[in-house]
């Protein structure tokens, strides 16, 4: 058989391919390599035949300043920088190049002429070889709003930025006050948008300009001017931030990849100057290429990876030869040290196996290490699961499940959270999420996956002998449905101590508003204070008599009475406190409570009743009438408690003198006098002489609606002098100081 014609055909085809390759290389060498000061490496290019496909086409335009800037018309974005894959950090998960572009900022209330919100269309690069990089950070700057990344279903990613009037913001970092930031999910994909919404209609909070954006500039300390990281107006005036995209070659261009002559995958026997691998962590099928170590250049150009002559380098590999008396000889991708006795030492940057036995042995060794690693990881995971199950059972998880199964009706049941859910919600219980610390534990602010803002209470320690009582109380409290009581959403029993999850209340507590810890407050009118005290009485009356099981609060005080954005009362931190032990750093006995609020009868008998809550409520009512703190060192010794101070003023007919000056001028004196009489009854020394909370609630409603009847009945009731003898000395050792007591939901936000 004559093979000459077939051989000639093959040679002709080979010659055509060589000539085509030469022509292509020659044509690309004439393509511009820069646009202005920015390098444009292939597969990107300027002009026809200079780019791989239309996604990589670059237009070089004149900016308003006259400088040339690169532009990607296919995605309508200005380019800041293009980088090839990093050969020193190249594997199946990191085989991308990077593309940094300018993207718009989403803003709210930044226009001088209006309070409009500027929402841009979501960034949509579907179908392109680009994906949004994980290196970006989602950042929100401004006051009192929630910013969220959209089009990430089912994932919810966002953060809340507030301006706390009691804090001086750190203008050089983003820690929740005036600025918040959060990592995006590991896989964003090719489409993402930003939404912004108000979180408070409270007139006491600042608003102003607010912005949100996704950017990688947080990695560059020189990207922002000093002090501008919490200044939304600076970003709004700047009009853009830098966003990092990843790029690779789509699988539909596989013929182009094959034409490069690179090694596909991590072949140990390859001597090719470049390597290409399939991207494993992406939503699109693509391939990335890089020059092997020992080579430098562009792997996307045939012959673009050039050998590095290590012997010509001033530092590094050549110096390995000289101290040993050898001569450096450059080789493709590596170098040799040749000695006078003929010995040669190869310094190869490729993994090569000269001997099959060595390769097999090394492979087996690596396999053993891999199996040992996976086994160790599996055992560690199983131990963690066993530990969580043990804690779940120890903290009453099985009893809770039984209770939940037996609970009937339409009332929302307790949600049992996993520790993973609450760690994610609180950023692993970050110190930046701490709302407050007290004798019973620490409270963190968190965001659940459904976007709800919650407060997570992490108790100091729990009494293991009363776990059953604790679980029963959790079930009861979760069934409470009253508009003036903070809702217990659920709990987590997989941790050393149980975690309780409550609804979040954002507008601080009565103590903060009364005693000047807010710049402004709506509690400067008697009508507002009367409405608040009526709400408190209604909530306590519900707990005492209307709930499925009577519940005593046990720690009624102004720091435990929260206010929402509309100044509606939310009574918090009740019920479960009887089973959570106090922090041992405080001096305590079996009697628990807060100095200035504790019932003197309870202190003497250690028997807590519903009338003990009535006494504490009376102190709160006096706080609202007088604006005084429950304990004050500036008052005389016997009058340091507000109760004693108030009773003495009533006996001396000086009530008008101690009414809070903020409300004295405009208040209805008859209502204040009647409320003071009611407070005096609540502060009786013996519980049987005090009204019930139901009677208190009814009396307050009558006071609000029956001013005429009150006018003729106002009088000051003088009681036994023993009622005034309620000093600090009687309970200062056995109760927690009000200075140590922290609210469950302070008015701080992130």
| DSSP state letters, 391-420 | HHHHTTHHHHHHHHHH--SSSPPPEE--HH
- pLDDT of 344 reads 66
> 330 - beta bridge partners?
335
Looking at residue 652, the DSSP 8-state letter turns out to be T
Do residues 323 and 268 both lie within one domain?
A: yes
Do residues 322 and 288 both lie within one domain?
A: yes
For residue 24, being part of any structural domain is answered with no
234 to each of 177, 268, 618, 646, how far by Cα in Å?
17, 53, 51, 53
- pLDDT of 323 reads 66
Q: What is the CA radius of gyration of the chain?
A: 36
For residue 669, being part of any structural domain is answered with yes
Do residues 286 and 328 both lie within one domain?
A: yes
The last residue of one of the domains, among 300, 327, 348, is 348
> 416 - beta bridge partners?
491
- pLDDT of 282 reads 64
> CATH number, domain at 564?
1.10.510.10
Q: Considering Cα of 425, then 431, then 432, then 436, what sign does the dihedral take?
A: positive
Do residues 530 and 561 both lie within one domain?
A: yes
pLDDT in tens, 619-672: 999 999 999 999 887 776 667 789 999 999 999 999 999 999 988 888 889 999
- pLDDT of 11 reads 43
Q: Which residue has the tokens 């204040």?
A: 672
Q: How far is Cα 721 from Cα 690, in angstroms, rounded to an integer? A: 17
HEC letters along 45-74: EECCCCCCCHHHEEEEEECCCCCEEEEECC
Do residues 571 and 612 both lie within one domain?
A: yes
Judge whether 240 and 106 are in contact, CB under 8 Å.
Answer: no
Helix or strand holding residue 249 (H, E): strand 249-250
The last residue of one of the domains, among 348, 363, 390, is 348
660 as an active site residue: the answer is no
Bond into 154 cis (ω within 30): yes
Do residues 135 and 231 both lie within one domain?
A: yes
For residue 500, being part of any structural domain is answered with no
456 to each of 189, 258, 428, 505, how far by Cα in Å?
32, 56, 12, 12
Q: How far is Cα 120 from Cα 117, in angstroms, rounded to an integer? A: 10
Q: Which domain holds residue 220?
A: 97-164+181-247
HEC letters along 466-506: HHHHHHHHHHHHHCCCCCCECCEEEEECCCCCCEEEEECCC
Q: How far is Cα 591 from Cα 651, in angstroms, rounded to an integer? A: 30
The contacts of residue 575 (CB under 8 Å, 6+ apart) are: 473, 476, 477, 551, 553, 554
Do residues 512 and 558 both lie within one domain?
A: yes
Do residues 268 and 339 both lie within one domain?
A: yes
451 to each of 80, 503, 565, how far by Cα in Å?
34, 12, 19
With 0-12 / 13-18 / 19 or more C-beta atoms within 10 angstroms meaning exposed / middle / buried, residue 130 is buried
| Paired tokens of 331 | 């080789």
Q: How far is Cα 164 from Cα 517, in angstroms, rounded to an integer? A: 11
605 to each of 591, 609, 686, 689, 727, how far by Cα in Å?
9, 11, 11, 16, 17
Judge whether 694 and 541 are in contact, CB under 8 Å.
Answer: yes
Catalytic residue among 216, 231, 555, 564: 555
- pLDDT of 461 reads 64
Render 355-374 in DSSP notation, one character per residue. Answer: SHHHHHHHHHHHHHHHHHHH
Do residues 278 and 201 both lie within one domain?
A: no
Residues of the chain under the 50 pLDDT cut:
1-7, 9-27, 203, 316, 350-357, 409-411, 575-590, 708, 712-750
Do residues 265 and 318 both lie within one domain?
A: yes
For residue 749, being part of any structural domain is answered with no
For residue 33, being part of any structural domain is answered with no
For residue 747, being part of any structural domain is answered with no
For residue 657, being part of any structural domain is answered with yes
- pLDDT of 365 reads 86
Q: Considering Cα of 375, then 379, then 382, then 388, what sign does the dihedral take?
A: negative
For residue 377, being part of any structural domain is answered with no
User: What SS3 class is residue 289?
Assistant: strand
The last residue of one of the domains, among 213, 247, 281, is 247
> CATH number, domain at 136?
2.60.120
Do residues 552 and 519 both lie within one domain?
A: yes
Do residues 303 and 225 both lie within one domain?
A: no
Domain total for the chain?
Answer: 3
| Paired tokens of 190 | 């090719």
């Amino acid at each position: 058989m004559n093979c000459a014609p077939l051989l000639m055909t093959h040679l002709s085809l080979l010659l055509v391919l060589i000539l085509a390759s030469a022509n292509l290389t020659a044509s690309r060498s004439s393509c511009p390599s820069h646009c202005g000061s920015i390098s444009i490496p292939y597969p990107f290019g300027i002009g026809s035949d200079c780019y791989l496909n239309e996604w990589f086409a670059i237009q070089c335009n004149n900016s308003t300043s006259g400088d040339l800037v690169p532009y990607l018309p296919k995605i309508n974005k200005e380019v800041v920088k293009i980088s090839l894959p990093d050969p020193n950090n190249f594997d199946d998960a990191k085989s991308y190049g990077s593309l940094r572009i300018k993207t718009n900022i989403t803003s709210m209330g930044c226009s001088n002429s209006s309070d409009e919100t500027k929402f841009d269309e979501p960034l949509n690069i579907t179908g392109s070889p680009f994906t949004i990089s994980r290196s970006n950070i989602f950042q929100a700057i401004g006051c009192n709003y929630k910013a969220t990344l959209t089009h990430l279903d089912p994932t919810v990613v966002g953060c809340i930025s507030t301006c706390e009037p009691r804090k001086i913001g750190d203008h050089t970092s983003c820690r929740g006050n005036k600025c918040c930031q959060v990592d995006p999910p590991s896989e964003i994909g090719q489409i993402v948008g930003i939404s912004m919404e108000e979180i408070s209609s409270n007139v006491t909070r600042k608003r102003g300009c607010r912005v949100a954006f996704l950017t990688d500039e947080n990695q560059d300390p020189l990207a922002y001017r000093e002090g501008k990281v919490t200044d939304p107006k600076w970003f709004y005036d700047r009009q853009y931030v830098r966003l990092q995209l990843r790029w690779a070659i789509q699988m539909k261009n596989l013929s182009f990849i094959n034409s490069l002559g690179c090694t596909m995958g991590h072949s140990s026997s390859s001597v090719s100057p470049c390597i290409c691998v399939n991207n494993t962590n992406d939503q699109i099928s693509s391939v990335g290429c890089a020059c092997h170590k020992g080579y430098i250049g562009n792997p996307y150009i045939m012959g673009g990876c050039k050998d590095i002559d290590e012997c010509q380098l001033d530092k590094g590999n050549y110096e390995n030869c000289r101290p040993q008396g050898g001569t450096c000889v450059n080789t493709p991708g590596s170098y040799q040290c040749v000695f006078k006795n003929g010995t040669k030492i190869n310094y190869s940057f490729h993994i090569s196996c000269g001997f099959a036995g060595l390769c097999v042995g090394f492979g087996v060794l690596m396999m053993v290490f891999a199996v040992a690693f996976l086994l160790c990881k599996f055992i560690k995971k199983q131990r963690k699961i066993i530990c969580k199950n043990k804690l779940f059972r120890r903290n009453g998880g099985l009893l809770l499940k039984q209770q939940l199964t037996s609970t009937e009706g339409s009332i929302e049941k307790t949600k049992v959270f996993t520790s993973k859910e609450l760690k994610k919600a609180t950023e692993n219980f970050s110190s930046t999420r701490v709302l407050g610390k007290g004798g019973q534990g620490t409270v963190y602010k968190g965001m659940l996956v459904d976007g709800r803002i919650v407060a997570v209470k992490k108790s100091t320690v729990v009494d293991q002998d009363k776990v059953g009582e604790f679980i029963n109380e959790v079930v009861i409290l979760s069934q409470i449905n009253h508009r003036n009581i903070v809702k217990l959403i659920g709990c987590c029993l997989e941790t050393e101590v149980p975690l309780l999850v409550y609804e979040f209340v954002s507008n601080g507590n009565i103590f903060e508003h009364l005693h000047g810890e807010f710049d402004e407050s709506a509690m400067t009118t008697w009508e507002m204070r009367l409405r608040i005290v009526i709400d408190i009485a209604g909530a306590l009356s519900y707990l005492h008599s209307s709930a499925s099981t009577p519940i005593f609060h046990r720690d009624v005080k102004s720091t435990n009475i929260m206010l929402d954005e509309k100044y509606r009362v939310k009574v918090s931190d009740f019920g479960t406190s009887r089973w959570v032990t106090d922090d041992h750093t405080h001096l305590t006995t079996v009697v628990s409570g807060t100095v200035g609020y504790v019932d003197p009868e309870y202190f003497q008998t250690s028997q807590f009743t519903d009338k003990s809550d009535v006494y504490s409520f009376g102190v709160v009512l006096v706080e609202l009438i007088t604006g005084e703190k429950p304990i004050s060192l500036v008052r005389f010794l016997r009058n340091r408690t507000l109760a004693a101070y108030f009773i003495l003023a009533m006996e001396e007919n000086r009530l008008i003198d101690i009414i809070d000056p903020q409300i004295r001028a405009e208040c209805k004196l008859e209502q204040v006098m009647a409320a003071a009489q009611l407070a005096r009854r609540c502060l009786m020394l013996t519980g049987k002489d005090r009204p019930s909370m139901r009677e208190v609630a009814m009396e307050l409603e009558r006071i609000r609606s029956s001013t005429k009847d009150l006018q003729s009945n106002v009088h000051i009731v003088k009681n036994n002098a023993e009622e005034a003898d309620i000093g600090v000395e009687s309970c200062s050792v056995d109760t927690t100081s009000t200075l140590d007591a922290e609210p469950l939901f302070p008015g701080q936000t992130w």
